[in-house]
Amino acid sequence: MDKPINNKAWLFVLPVLVLVAFSAVIPLMTVVNYSFQDTFGNNQFFWAGLEWYREVLSSERFHNALWRQFLFTGIILAIQIPLGVAVALAMPRKGWGVPVCLVLMALPLLIPWNVVGTIWQIFGRVDIGLLGYTLFNLGIDYNYTQDPLDAWITVVVMDVWHWTSLVVLLCYAGLVSIPDAYYQAAKIDGASRWAVFRYIQLPKMHRVLLIAILLRFMDSFMIYTEPFVVTGGGPGSATSFLSIDLVKMAIGQFDVGPAAAMSIIYFLIILALSYVFYTVMTNAGRER
Amino acid sequence: MDLSWMAWTWPTAIFFVVIALLLFGMGLWEFARPGGAPRVGILRFETTRGDRLFISLLGSAFINLAWLGLIGPNLWWALALCLVYAVLVFRYV
């Protein structure tokens, strides 16, 4: 039976539309306006046309930041999703271990982003940090302030530490919703551990995995605070991701026009990739 | 109400008015023929006419950026290409 359509429902959506207009649409319109103009402050603007877009698109600095951003997001997803699924599978389903594991998993998510950055900035220091000092005494030449590879490893490990819990909790929610009857049927059929995962657990986790991948993709693509606190985008510009580069341009250099053009391009990339991710994964789910 | 902080210009205002008119037109279309006309096109997944407008607008943004980055700042041909692209999307996607 078809669901009845009641157009009065749109009235209930109106408050949200107003809120979104104030928090997202009007700022976005302003950024579009800025991206076609130049300003020296004092609310005075001069028409620049497509100049800032042309400048950003041909800028090596933007290309490098974009490449670093894709690399970072790819690494993050490649580590956090399998690791999150593995940890969720290993967590107990009943008993006292459940609340203990849940609290432990939730802890990193409760810490503010700048505090996470500060924790890892101190943790990695060779003179006073546990990690840096230990690695130094093991004879490993680790210095995230001077070595680009060390900076990358620190930022990636920090993000994995901070956000894998989210994937774990989402996957765990999917796993505990699977009725025992599925496992009993698999046991009767003599299914292997892998078969249970492939044909029962993974399909049941599909929707939460979709949410986890989308959230982690968008969050990691917009990452700013943690790497800014730990490395400040350095050494050099080794960890200057798109958002860090954008803030440097907009606030550090007060190049509002180019920064606005870069923001629009950045926004379009996120929008397109999120749409592709969402469409591919929801349709894969429907086919299954 | 002073909106000078938004730094409005005629070209950007026209751009947003066109977007608003498109959305309004889609609303009227939906009112006249409810349901969104879902179908499976060449991309092999179901799209409604709202999806097709979204794909057209997003694709057009990238066509303009690619034209600007690879060919030059005269975007009138890019706009024509976007219109052709939008027609193709609404016809086949």
pLDDT tens-digit readout, A135-170:
999 999 888 889 999 999 999 999 999 999 999 999
- Sole residue written with tokens 């890019």: B78
From the CA of B73, how many Å to the nearest CA of chain A?
Answer: 7
pLDDT of residue A204: 87
Q: How confident is the model at residue A243 (pLDDT cuts 50, 70, 90)?
A: very high
Taking an 8 Å cut-off on Cβ atoms, the answer to whether B68 and A5 are in contact is no
- Whether residue B17 is predicted with pLDDT greater than 90 in this model: the reply is yes
Q: How confident is the model at residue A88 (pLDDT cuts 50, 70, 90)?
A: very high
Q: How confident is the model at residue A93 (pLDDT cuts 50, 70, 90)?
A: confident
From the CA of A68, how many Å to the nearest CA of chain B?
Answer: 20
- Whether residue A2 is predicted with pLDDT greater than 70 in this model: the reply is no
In order, the DSSP letters of chain A are: -PPPP-TTHHHHHHHHHHHHIIIIIHHHHHHHHHHTEEE-STT-EEE-TTHHHHHHHT-HHHHHHHHHHHHHHHHHHHHHHHHHHHHHHHS-SSSTHHHHHHHHHHHHHHS-HHHHHHHHHHHT-TTT-HHHHHHHHTT----TTT-HHHHHHHHHHHHHHHHHHHHHHHHHHHHHTS-HHHHHHHHHTT--HHHHIIIIIHHHHHHHHHHHHHHHHHHHHT--HHHHHHTTT-STTTT--HHHHHHIIIIIS--HHHHHHHHHHHHHHHHHHHHHHHHHHHHHHHH-
Q: How confident is the model at residue A117 (pLDDT cuts 50, 70, 90)?
A: very high
Quote the tokens at residue A112. Answer: 């503010």
Q: Helices A202-221 and A60-90 sit at what angle, rounded to 10 degrees?
A: 150
Q: How confident is the model at residue B44 (pLDDT cuts 50, 70, 90)?
A: confident
pLDDT of residue A64: 94
Residue in A closest to B6 by C-alpha: A30
SS3 B77: helix
Domain spans in chain B, listed from the N-terminal domain onward: 1-34, 36-93
pLDDT of residue A285: 65
Give the best residue of B68, B79, B93 to mutate against chain A (max A CB count within 10 A).
B68
**What Cα–Cα distance (Å) separates residue A62 from each residue in A58, A59, A263, A283, B93?**
8, 5, 11, 33, 33
Residue type at position A30: T
Taking an 8 Å cut-off on Cβ atoms, the answer to whether A272 and B4 are in contact is no
pLDDT of residue A6: 74
Domain spans in chain A, listed from the N-terminal domain onward: 60-287
| Average pLDDT for A238-261 | 92
pLDDT of residue A131: 92
| Average pLDDT for B13-37 | 92
Beta strands A37-39 and B39-40, pairing class: unpaired
CATH architecture of A60-287: Orthogonal Bundle (1.10)
Residue scoring higher pLDDT (A43 or A212): A212
- Whether residue A1 is predicted with pLDDT greater than 70 in this model: the reply is no
Q: How confident is the model at residue A229 (pLDDT cuts 50, 70, 90)?
A: very high
Q: How confident is the model at residue B6 (pLDDT cuts 50, 70, 90)?
A: confident
Using an 8 Å CB-CB cutoff, list chain A residues near B12.
29, 32-33, 36
- Sole residue written with tokens 């250099």: A253
